[in-house]
Structure formats: structure tokens, C-alpha cells
Structure 1
Amino acid sequence: MSGGSTLSDLLADARRRLAAAGIDTAAIDARLLVEAATGASRLDLLAATDRPVAADAAARLDDWIGRRAAGEPVGRILGTASFYGLDFALGPDTLEPRPDTEVLVEVALGAVRSGRIPGVLSDGEGLRLLDLGTGTGAIAVALLSKLAQARGLATDLSSGALEVAKGNAVRHGVSDRLDFAEGDFFAAVSGGFHLIVSNPPYIASSVIAGLDREVRLHDPLLALDGGSDGLDAYRTILGGIGEHLLAGGLLAVEIGWDQGEAVARLFAAAGLSDIEVHRDLGDRDRVISGFLRTKID
């Protein structure tokens, strides 16, 4: 690519290279990378296609397209990812938040807004939420951005992830209502919560080596490995709800597409009721929720 290239030239070349590399989302990835590298808007790519592009921008795009063709996700290249209409900074210790996880936010919001959690109003007044293994903070921040009166605590075993999450909370104006604690699941948590959410590690250890390169090579292992059967994190979370989930409160967690029945059994064995499996846009099991109707001793 040369400094004499136009937006049209760069976009066409980016699409071609990504498609040749077998990237299924070549067209959209090319557009996102061209926009970010050149500062062009989506309208520019439609109406100003003959606009020349500076040599440094073209060189930057050339590097980014090479990285994407090698399997690095767009979010990792740009350092940000969109989730629930908000942009989140990423870090080496965080997962890239994915659209399927938005189902978890919808389930939690639905429970609050419908009045299903005792003592909690539809705007979140009275609500104390806990996000276990927060990563970028995407789930907690998205919930607090929609529940103006709610307060929360987000935990993570990684100090690096917590620094990223803290920055994202500031970016989206919820840092005054979201506290952070470093520790594994409930290790650094005290007190009770009306709503506990988590997108924990749920991939069986033996499966990780066969994952797509975008995940296997670029997501932190700590956030992926769910133990020999992928269910270790759920057992840990459910072991702590008696102490930390208030009576009438909701637990909602993301699951793997084939884990619905197994995790539902764990929920029931832990004393949760009104257990529901929620499906994602691909019509796969994605989230399980359940209420603690009677306090567990």
C-alpha cells in the first residue's frame, strides 16, 4: 500500500486479503480497520471513496490487516470492543466481550425491571449487584449504565483485569457506584447481594487446544479453563450463594452451548428455583438463571 492510495483502494485491498486468509467476517473487519486506521467515518467510505490516504495511515492499516489475517481479533488489534452499545478497553488479562454475553445483561435487567427481586425498584434503587470474574467490567458496567440507582461490586483474580475494568467504569460514568475487589470468585467478598452475575471460565481443559485461533491464541487461559468437565467455576459459585445471595435474589451465569442441562442440575441441587435456560441469537443455550426463594443455611 502506498501513500497515494485512496479509501476505496484500501478498503478493497483489505477485503481481498482477509477473504484470502479465510476470515469469515472479512467485509466488516476490513471496514472497521480502515475506519480506525484512517479516521474515516462510515459515510466517508460510501461518499468519499476517492479521498487520498496519508502514508502513515496506509502503513498502519497494512500492519493491522496482516495481524487480522493471522487470526488476531479486531478488538485486540484496536484495543477496544463494543458491548451492549458501549465501548470497552481491553487488556491482555481480559476476554473480549462478545455479543452472546449481552443475553446475560438482558436477563438481569429483565428481572430488575419486572420487579421480580424483592426490595428492588425498576431503576435499580435498593439493588446491590455482584459480578464475579469481571474481566473488562463489561457486564457490571452495562448493568449500572441502565440501572441508575444500583450499586455493585466486581471481582477478578487478575489485578491487570481489574485495572482495565476500573478504567471502563470511569469511561462510562459508573465508577462512583462500582467497587472492585481482587480475588477468586467470593474470596474477597463479604455481605449479601440481590443479584449475582458471572461469565466464568467454562471450557473443558481438554477442549482448549482445539479452539479457534482467535480464542486459543489471544484470550487469557485463566478466563477460559473450566476444569476437566468445564463446570468447576459453577460449583464454586453455587457453593457461595448461601452466604452471599440474599433471599429472593437472582443468580445468572453464562454457560457453554452444551452445558444447559448440567448447570441447571447444579442450580437445583444448590436450592435455587424458577430456573430458566436462556438462548442466544444463534438459538443456543447461553445463560442460566435461578432465584433463591428460601435462604440456605
Structure 2
Amino acid sequence: MNPCPPTELDALLRAASSRIDPTDARWLLAHAAGRSQTWLFAHARDPAPADVVARFDALVERRVAGEPVAYLTGTRGFWGLDLKVSPETLIPRPETELLVELALARLPPGPARIADLGTGSGAIALAIARERPDVYVLATDASAGALDVARANAASLGLANLRFVQGDWYAPLAGERFDLIASNPPYIEEADPHLEQGDLRFEPAAALASGADGLDAIRVLAAGAIAHLDPGGWLLIEHGLSQGAAVRALLADAGLGQVDTARDLEARERVTFGRAPGSPGPG
């Protein structure tokens, strides 16, 4: 008896798309094949090698079980960068690019110093370092595993204007001051049922939830900002869509001025910022 002919790549995709999101299926097949999605379009009728079929089937089963595509492929795009991610890090989201935009708009011209607190995969720090090679970026995280990922991303991108230090929030700054401090801290309420749903089940809990009202980490960031900002320096914090008013109050109570909140592309309050008193120095 003749063996069955190999399954075509397009047939594999159609079968998987009946079980998982078609976009996820295409990402996973490209990863299993070691090819780009453009290549898949051009070779849709090609027979799939047995090893590709086996890898793809295993990835589909894991996706059906709920594992995030970013962890299955080990990468996620952010700000035009191809970043490594792992279960040690939060998966970068497109809405966090707003924080990068706002930070770049507030950096002074010429050399400057910024800190990215709770850097995770390094997404914010790396995006700013790539856009502004004249800026020194200090990126911190309490997780050694997350910092390993961030360092690997910096190395693969060839970025040298960063330093990575382990520690919780302001602890690693050791009296240093900055022109700008940015953070995408945990801000979900600890009892929020969404933590037990979807991709969030697989992401590090310490990078997602922060106290009964989700604001514990933001309280620390607000309270310590002026001690670590140069005069006229900025603090920018990403937060949940219903937390804008509370975060504005925390920044104002901490002595920051020009407090305001920027909305994301879906008109949701997403990033709140405030400025340290005093005039910025020259340059």
C-alpha cells in the first residue's frame, strides 16, 4: 500500500484554524516551519515535512490549553522591535507603546537619563534606547529571570546605552536622579477574576496584580518620584482604564505638578504623568 501523501501547509492551517484563532495558527505554523508568514503565503500548497507537522501539532495543543502565542514562539513585536519573551516576563502589549511615545516627547534634547522601573522584557527601555542613542537608560526589575531576558534583548539589538539592575522599584537607584522615570507596573486588583482567564493565567502574577485595589505599586512609584527626579523631570505610569482619577490624585499628593492622563487609541485612560517641581537644568 502506498503511504498517504504529506499534508499541504494550507490544509494544516485550515484544520488548526477550526480549533484556535486563525492568526494564532499562522504565527505558530511559521514558527514551527522556521519561516516567515510571507513564505507561508507563497508556499501554501507545499507538502509539510513530518517534523514541521509534529512541532505544529504540539504547539496547537498547547495553545488550545491556553498558553499565550508569545510564550509558544518566544517572541513578541513591540515598537518595531522583535523581542524575546518568556514566562518570567509580562508579554508586551501594543497599548504600552503610548507610554514610549509620551516619554520620547518629554525627554530633553541632547544627553539625558531615564529609568524604566519593572522593565520585564525590557520593552520600554529598549524602545527608548533605540530611538535616543544619546540617552542613558537604567532598567530595573525585581526578577532576575526577567532581567536575563531583557539583557538578551539588548544584546541582540546591539544596544549599549542601557544598564540593568535587579531590585524592587526605587531600591536599585541608590540616590540617583533622572530626567524621566517610566513604569508599566502591576495594576490589577488581586481578586480580579480576569487573572484566572485567558493569557493572564500564564503570565507572572507579580507583574500583573498589586494589592486589593491594584494601586500598591503605583503608590510606591508616586511617593518616591521627587526624590529620584531632577527638577522639572517627569514620572509616567501606565495603569488600568478605570484608575486614571486615582493615579492623578496619587501623583498630585506626592507633589508632582502638571498632572494629566493620556488616552489610548480606544479613548481609554491609559498613562498618567506628572512633573517634579523646579526648572530643568541646561540641555
Per the TM alignment, residue 42 of structure 1 is displaced from its structure 2 partner at its CA by 2.8
Runs (5+) with no aligned partner, structure 1: 19-25, 113-119
Q: What's the secondary structure of 2:47's corresponding residue?
A: coil
Partner of 1:193: 178
**Paired residues of 1:95 and 1:223 also in contact (CA < 8 A):** yes
Per the TM alignment, residue 208 of structure 1 is displaced from its structure 2 partner at its CA by 5.0
One-letter identity of the residue aligned with 2:59: W
Q: Which of structure 1's runs of 4+ aligned residues deviate more than 6 A?
A: none
Q: What's the secondary structure of 1:251's corresponding residue?
A: strand
Per the TM alignment, residue 3 of structure 1 is displaced from its structure 2 partner at its CA by 7.4
Superposition map of 1:103-122 within 5 A: 103-112=98-107, 120-121=108-109
**Residues 1:171 and 2:173 are matched in the alignment:** no
Superposition map of 1:1-297 within 5 A: 4-18=6-20, 26-112=21-107, 120-121=108-109, 125-174=110-159, 176-190=160-174, 191-207=176-192, 210-215=195-200, 217-294=201-278
CA deviation profile, 1:139-173 (whole Å, cap 9, x unmatched): 00011000121111111111111111111111112
Partner of 1:115: none
CA deviation profile, 1:196-237 (whole Å, cap 9, x unmatched): 00011111111156542310x211111112111111111111
One-letter identity of the residue aligned with 1:292: A
Q: Which moved more, 1:272-281 or 1:241-250?
A: 272-281
Runs (5+) with no aligned partner, structure 2: none
**Paired residues of 1:80 and 1:88 also in contact (CA < 8 A):** yes
Identical aligned residues as a percent: 43
TM-score for the superposition, normalised by structure 2: 0.93
CA deviation profile, 1:87-112 (whole Å, cap 9, x unmatched): 11112221011111111111111222
How many residues align? The count is: 275
| Aligned mates of 1:211, 1:252 — CA distance in 2 | 28
**Paired residues of 1:208 and 1:225 also in contact (CA < 8 A):** no
Per the TM alignment, residue 284 of structure 1 is displaced from its structure 2 partner at its CA by 1.3
**Paired residues of 2:261 and 2:271 also in contact (CA < 8 A):** yes
